[in-house]
């Protein structure tokens, strides 16, 4: 079985002698690396930091990155997308046209050229790609089209951290689809969704595709591709029974049935110095789920009261989206006091003049406890509609583990941590309208193009892979993105037979298309084993003097630790077979 050669960038069919290569490994764990992937990438000599959130990709790191890029490329091409390359430096005018020059804020790194012209480093390329398309696409006959690039992005993150997981400069694949209408755009979106599944499967990642908020990119709907890892920065929820899965920012809660209980008379109770839900509930001898928490937020300068059940948390993003607000933040104490009419800790919905948005869970409650809008005062047996007005009921709380699934009847939601490695968006006409990207339809009428955009964090995917694939000794790369498939450890470089056999194996593997690293360094065996484990090469052939007298070498599997003692021919054949199988798509 011959392994396919890649022509775009030579990742495959590459062989190297360790003594002539550049893999600066470190024994000690760097002090300022928090997460395991960051530590291991530094220790394995894959990356080095240049500035906060800015890294050198050393040869080993670059090789893995190129592998991911290549998988991405193959799958994007398979899905009909076309590669191009846009500049990293983009002029302010395009961003002013879309309105994002102001909207994007400090994350956009801006600078001036010698003629005082304003530019920025591209954090994403909707503007630039739309500019290309509006200039070149005239007719419905030219649609659909999907263009992508793999390129370095720069976002001046407030707090870069975790190595390649959240850098300021990072490699990203970004694709943009252009369609005649919304349903055609849905097809493009679905193709990308499927391509993404294939990409992350081929990378050997354990991931979930979840429904997500669209954030500052905008658009109507989106999915995030989340690699499951405890160190993940996002919380995601998935149903134990059906396919429903969503980012915690987006995850829907299931409405409760309207309460049918008998309404008791409302009653004022003194609650001296009891401000928090826990204090009030325990003072009155009830569970927090029989109380209602009133929070004051400011949405685009308007104070709004949000109500959630005492044991629930407000999901600010859901509320912001429900209100259609551009900005939403928790109110300051002054605003709180003014809006509720009482001191902090005693706000309640009765008698307030601001809009009251209640979580839908409250519809299912009766005879609950609310704040009295006065010092040391709460009410018990309060009921909505009867005792206070609600402007609207909405899903505004954060879903938690164990909540019933909003989509099916039997499942319960489970919480996971995830690393966002890909994100697909339906953009609709948000950018095409602003930038006037239109085409003429079959009737000669001008129509606005429907867009989608699709990102993959390449470096982050490698980091995420390491988060999922490591042990106490180091990285355990899956073959498809390993920097080398196999390492040949020549145990003694002073013994002629060992050297000869090692080089023979090395040459045979290399010519069979296996990417092989020959550890020909004059080092003690333990030293070589530690390095081989650390850098995570999936297969290792150990050539030692003793086994060699019987014509045998050792094949060790990095992941399982399994060791096979095999004649040389068999070892070579076995490595070829394992690699070919792992790369078969």
Partner RNA sequence: CGGGGUGUAGCGCAGUCUGGCUAGCGCACCUGCCUUGGGAGCAGGGGGUCGGAGGUUCGAAUCCUCUCACCCCGACCA
Which residues make up the interface to RNA (CB under 7 A)? 25-28, 30-32, 34, 43, 49, 51-53, 107, 124, 153, 155, 157-162, 166, 170, 172, 215-217, 224, 233, 316, 329, 420, 423, 425, 455-457, 460, 473, 491-492, 494, 522-527, 529-534, 542, 544-547, 554, 556, 563
CB 177 within 8 A of CB 185: yes
Give the residue with the Cβ less far from RNA, 137 or 236: 236
**C-alpha distances in Å from residue 482, one per residue of 46, 57, 147, 298, 537:** 12, 15, 28, 50, 6
Coil/strand/helix, residue 64: helix
**Three-state DSSP class for residue 371:** strand
Distance in angstroms (rounded) separating the CA atoms of residues 281 and 76: 55
Between CA 226 and CA 232 the distance in angstroms is 9
Nearest approach in angstroms of CB 11 to RNA is 21
Element (H, E) at 338: helix 333-340
Q: Which is nearer to RNA, 139 or 216 (CB)?
A: 216
Query: Would you state the structure tokens that stand for residue 133, as one six-digit string?
Result: 């398309």
The β-bridge relationship of strands 302-309 and 355-359 is: parallel
The C-alpha atoms of residue 274 and residue 286 are separated, in whole angstroms, by: 14
> From the CB of 368, what's the least distance to RNA, in Å?
27
* 516-519/15-17 β-pairing: parallel
Q: Give me the residue label for tokens 């890892």.
A: 229
Facing residues of 553 across strands?
566
What's the rounded Cα separation, in Å, for the pair 76 and 150? 11
Q: Which is nearer to RNA, 442 or 472 (CB)?
A: 472
Give alpha helix (H) positions in 109-168: 126-136
Minimum Å distance from CB 407 to RNA?
24
Nearest approach in angstroms of CB 218 to RNA is: 8
Cβ at position 423, least distance to RNA in Å: 3
Which 8-state DSSP code applies to residue 385? T
Task: Supply the minimum distance, in Å, between the C-beta of residue 76 and RNA.
Answer: 15
Closest distance between RNA and the C-beta of residue 181, in Å?
Answer: 24
CB 164 within 8 A of CB 55: yes
Nearest-approach distance from CB 287 to RNA, in angstroms: 26
The residue (of 216 and 585) whose beta carbon lies closer to RNA is: 216
Quick one: 296 or 534, whose CB is closer to RNA?
534
Secondary structure element (H or E) that encloses residue 497, with its range: helix 496-511
How far is it, in rounded angstroms, from Cα 177 to Cα 188?
Answer: 7
| Shortest distance in whole angstroms from residue 328 CB to RNA | 8
What is the rounded distance in angstroms from the CA atom of residue 112 to the CA atom of residue 143? 36
Q: Closer to RNA at the Cβ: 49 or 197?
A: 49
Q: How far is the CB of 429 from RNA (least distance, A)?
A: 18
By beta-carbon proximity to RNA, the closer residue of 42 and 405 is 42
Contact 150, 173 (CB under 8 A): yes
Helix, strand, or coil (residue 376): coil
Give just the sign of the alpha carbon dihedral 258, 263, 266, 270: negative
* Residue placing its CB nearer to RNA in the complex, 128 or 369: 128
- Comparing CB distances to RNA, the nearer of 191 and 460 is 460
Comparison of 151 and 350: residue with beta carbon closer to RNA = 151
**The pairing of beta strand 413-428 with beta strand 438-440:** unpaired
Residue 115 structure tokens: 């003629």
Q: Whole-number minimum distance, CB 321 to RNA, in Å? A: 12
User: Smallest distance from the beta carbon of 467 to RNA, in angstroms?
Assistant: 15
String of DSSP letters for 410-462: S-BEEEEEEEEEEEEEEEETHHHHHTT-EEE-TTS-EEEPEEEEEEEEHHHHH
Instruction: Please identify, using beta-carbon distances, which residue of 135 and 546 lies nearer to RNA.
Output: 546
Of 449 and 535, the one with the shorter C-beta distance to RNA is 535
**Between 233 and 389, CB nearer to RNA:** 233
* Both tokens assigned to 11: 């990742």
Smaller CB distance to RNA: residue 161 or 355?
161
Q: Whole-angstrom Cα distance, residue 273 to residue 480? A: 62
CA distances from 430 to 107, 146, 181, 231, 453 (A): 21, 17, 13, 34, 12
Q: How far is the CB of 424 from RNA (least distance, A)?
A: 9
* Nearest approach, Cβ of residue 120 and RNA (Å): 15
Query: In whole angstroms, what is the distance from residue 158 CA to residue 350 CA?
Result: 40
């Amino acid at each position: 079985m011959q392994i396919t050669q890649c022509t775009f960038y030579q990742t495959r069919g590459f062989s190297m002698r360790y003594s002539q290569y550049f893999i600066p490994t470190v024994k000690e764990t760097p002090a300022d690396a928090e997460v395991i992937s960051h530590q291991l990438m530094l220790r394995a000599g894959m990356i080095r930091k240049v500035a906060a959130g800015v890294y050198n990709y050393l040869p080993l790191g670059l090789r893995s990155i190129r592998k991911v890029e290549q998988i991405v490329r193959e799958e994007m091409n398979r899905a009909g997308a076309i590669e191009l390359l846009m500049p990293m430096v983009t002029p302010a005018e395009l961003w002013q046209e879309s309105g994002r020059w102001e909207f994007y804020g400090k994350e956009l790194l801006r600078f001036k050229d010698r003629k005082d012209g304003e530019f920025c480093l591209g954090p994403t390329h909707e503007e630039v790609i739309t500019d290309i398309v509006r200039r070149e696409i005239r007719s419905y006959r030219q649609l659909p089209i999907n263009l992508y690039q793999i390129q370095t992005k720069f976002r001046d993150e407030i707090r870069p951290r975790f190595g390649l997981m959240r850098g300021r400069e990072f490699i990203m694949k970004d694709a943009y689809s252009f369609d005649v209408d919304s349903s055609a755009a849905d097809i493009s979106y679905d193709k990308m969704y499927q391509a993404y599944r294939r990409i992350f499967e081929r990378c050997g990642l354990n991931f979930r595709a979840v429904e997500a908020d669209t954030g500052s990119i905008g658009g109507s709907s989106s999915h995030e591709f989340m690699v499951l890892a405890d160190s993940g920065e996002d919380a995601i929820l998935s149903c134990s029974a059906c396919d429903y899965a969503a980012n915690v920012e987006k995850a829907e809660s299931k409405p409760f049935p309207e309460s049918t209980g008998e309404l008791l008379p409302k009653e004022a109770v003194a609650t001296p110095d009891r401000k928090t839900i826990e204090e009030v509930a325990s003072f009155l001898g009830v569970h927090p789920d029989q109380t209602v928490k009133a929070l004051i937020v400011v949405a685009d300068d308007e104070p709004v009261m949000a109500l959630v059940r005492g044991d629930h948390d407000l999901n600010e993003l859901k509320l912001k989206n429900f209100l259609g607000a551009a900005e939403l933040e928790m109110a300051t104490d002054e605003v709180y006091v003014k809006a509720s009419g009482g001191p902090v800790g005693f706000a309640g919905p009765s008698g307030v003049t601001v809009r009251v948005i209640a979580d839908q869970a409250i519809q299912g409650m009766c005879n609950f406890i609310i704040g009295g809008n006065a010092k040391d005062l709460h009410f018990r047996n309060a009921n909505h509609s009867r005792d206070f007005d609600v402007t609207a009921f909405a899903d505004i709380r954060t879903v938690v583990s164990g909540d019933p699934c909003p989509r099916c009847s039997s499942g319960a939601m489970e919480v996971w941590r995830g690393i966002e490695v890909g994100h697909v968006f339906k953009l609709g006409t948000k950018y095409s309208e602003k930038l006037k990207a239109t085409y003429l339809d079959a009737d000669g009428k001008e129509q606005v193009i429907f867009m989608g955009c699709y990102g993959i964090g390449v470096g982050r995917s490698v980091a995420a892979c390491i988060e999922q694939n490591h042990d106490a000794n180091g990285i355990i790369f899956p073959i498809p993105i390993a920097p080398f498939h196999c390492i040949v450890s020549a145990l003694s470089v002073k013994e002629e037979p060992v050297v000869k056999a090692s080089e023979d194996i090395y040459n045979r593997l290399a010519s069979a298309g296996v990417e092989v690293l020959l550890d020909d360094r004059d080092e003690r065996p333990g030293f070589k084993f530690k390095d081989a484990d650390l850098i995570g090469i999936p297969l290792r052939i150990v050539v030692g003097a003793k086994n060699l007298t019987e014509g045998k070498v050792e094949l060790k599997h990095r992941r399982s630790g399994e060791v096979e003692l095999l004649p040389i021919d068999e070892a070579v054949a076995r490595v070829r077979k394992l690699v070919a199988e792992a790369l078969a798509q």
